[in-house]
Structure 1
Amino acid sequence: MQNDNMKCGLTEEKQNLFVDTIEKEAYVWRENNWKHDDYEHVHQRAQLTFVEDGYQYFHIDQRIYLVPQHHVIWIPSGKAHKITSEAKTVNLMLFLFKSVFEDDFYRNVHVFSVPPVLKEMLLYASKWNKSLIENEEQDIFFKAILKSLPNFCKESNRLEIPVPADTRLIPVCQDINSNFKYNLDIDSLAEKAQMSVRSLQRTFKNETGITLQKYHQLTRILKSIELIDAQQYTLSEVAYKVGYQSLSAFTSSYFTVMKTKPRLNKNQAVS
């Protein structure tokens, strides 16, 4: 019988600490209409999360990672993270691994789109959903998935929004997040940060690894994903709501970030 404090196969001893009592090397936990606590937690298994439907935000190390539908996120063991989402429905598959291969890939967080081969492998693995019984085929199959991840990730998208540690930049980020629909006003942002324009641009890039323009673009595209998921608007309406003057401009910007064109679900209106 499943413990009420068990989540993803792990037992939650207190609000943010999960204890692993499972002997299996690796297992999968698939769940529809995912409900997750929105506080930070940590566990001693590496985690591969596949978003089948909806989208999730992962808050890790002063960064917010977006994981849209048909994307995965790799989180190393012992890495504290928090999950949030405003999606109507979130269907997830979590693969948890006790040990990983010796490769730099496994020590860092990665988000990337799932190619067809990996998608089929993940869906096939769902036949072992929540099974804690030892199974030789499963062990071999999961090791194959694990071993192949670095190659699948080579064309990784940058889908994280950095959160700067420099407090002078917080009002800058807040302004962009509130006014993403409008063009950047660098002079106004510099005033908010109490810096020169040149100093702001340099400090922001050093703190976040991306330019103000890229941060603005990411904010727009991530907001568009939420609007598309809401299933209330055509693509042209979404483009306008996030600040683009034409569908073609929005599509081009979306493709730059997501490496795919924006699409509505089959039951949504078309533009």
Structure 2
Amino acid sequence: MKILSQLINIVDQNPDSILVMRQQTEQRLPAHQHNKTQLLLVYGGIAYLQTDEKDFYIPSNHYIWIPKNYPHNLMFNTKDLYIINIYFPDEKAGGFYDELGIYPVSKLLAEMLSFSEKWQGDYCKGSWEFEFLSTLKNVLSKENLKKFSIQLPTTDDQRLNTIIDNIRNRLNENLTLESTANQSGMSVRSLTRLFQTKLHITFIQYLKMLRIIRAMELIKDTDLNMTEIAYEIGYSNISAFSNNFHQLTNMRPTEFKEMSSV
């Protein structure tokens, strides 16, 4: 694809520069990779980063750190999504910078991004912009923030994907392993084994993440209150919904709503 090759050329044509891109260039492109590491910041919506092994969900006011040469493609389904991409030359920093991870945008990082909000294009060594952006990068590993942990494993098993699609459409129901196995024409043991061998996760864990992802979408895109959202995704207990949301996102649903409305 011509646009894809152009993107990779733009990112990697100056190996030693830091590149800032504010256009939504990477959205809906096929899987690709580049020689620079990438800081992808999301504002105003929920982005979906797909890799060979997992789908990563990046809510508003969060960022994802992508190591160099890590195949990925970006998807989204909200109109007000705003993304900033900053590509850094690989400096073999190790640790934090060698692992893909999603984190909240801290107050310090937000202030640094606000200061550089009009910057765009390549910045080379020797410029004060390069030094500022390098400092921004170094700050990331010092904040010791908790990773955002919703990472859905993927599979090319068509039978399992059909089951998952059916689950997505019935999240408001009282779904159980037994009822799902019965509807799929499988034994509980076979369905359990299918999730474990193909996705390396239990049915319950996968269902919980699907429900919280749907809750994030409803919080962002509707005027439903938290009780209504809880019922809409299959929770009869608002406390259980809030606790599971916090377990996976490190914030309460009300905190997520406040963050999403900024």
TM range (shorter): 0.7 to 0.9
In the alignment, what sits opposite 1:40? 30
Q: For residues 64 and 260 of structure 2, what CA distance do their matches in structure 1 show?
A: 27
Residue 73 of structure 1 is matched in structure 2 by: 64
Task: Give the 3-state SS of the residue equivalent to 1:157 in structure 2.
Answer: coil
| 1:55-134 matches, cutoff 5 A | 55-127=46-118, 129-134=119-124
- Paired position in structure 1 for 2:22: 30
Q: For residues 84 and 146 of structure 1, what CA distance do their matches in structure 2 show?
A: 24
- C-alpha separation in 2, matches of 1:167 and 1:107: 32
CA change 1:214–1:15 in 2 (3 A) is same
Task: Find the counterpart in structure 2 of residue 21 from structure 1.
Answer: 13
3-state DSSP of counterpart to 2:71: coil
CA RMSD of aligned residues (A): 2.8
| Offset of residue 172 of structure 1 | 2.8
Letter in 1 for 2:106: P
Bigger drift between 214-223 and 100-109 goes to 100-109
Q: How many residues align?
A: 253
Query: Cα–Cα, structure 1 residues 30 and 265, in superposed 2: closer, same or farther, change >3 Å?
Result: same
How does the TM-score come out when normalised to structure 1?
A: 0.80
Q: Is the alpha carbon distance of 1:243 and 1:195 closer, same or farther for their aligned partners in structure 2, counting shifts above 3 Å?
A: closer
Aligned amino acid, residue 30 of structure 2: E
Q: Percent identity?
A: 25
Higher mean alpha-carbon deviation, 85-94 vs 97-106, is at: 97-106
Report the equivalent of 2:240.
Answer: 249
**Aligned ranges 1:1-271 → 2 under 5 Å:** 14-17=2-5, 18-19=8-9, 20-22=12-14, 25-31=17-23, 34=24, 37-42=27-32, 43-127=34-118, 129-134=119-124, 136-152=127-143, 155-191=146-182, 196-263=187-254, 264=257
Q: Alpha carbons of 1:89 and 1:35: their partners in 2 closer, same or farther (altered >3 Å)?
A: farther
Amino acid of the structure 2 residue aligned with 1:177? R
What is the CA–CA distance in structure 2 between the aligned matches of 1:231 and 1:187, rounded to whole Å? 32
Tell me if structure 2 keeps the 8 A contact 1:57–1:84. Answer: yes
Q: Which runs of 5+ in 1 are unaligned?
A: 1-12
Supply the distance in 2 between the matched residues of 1:240 and 1:255 (Cα, whole angstroms). Answer: 17
Q: Which has the higher contact order (CA 8 A, sep 6+)?
A: 2
- Structure 1 CA distance, aligned partners of 2:207 and 2:15? 45
Residue identity matched to 2:22: R
Residue type at the aligned position of 1:260: M
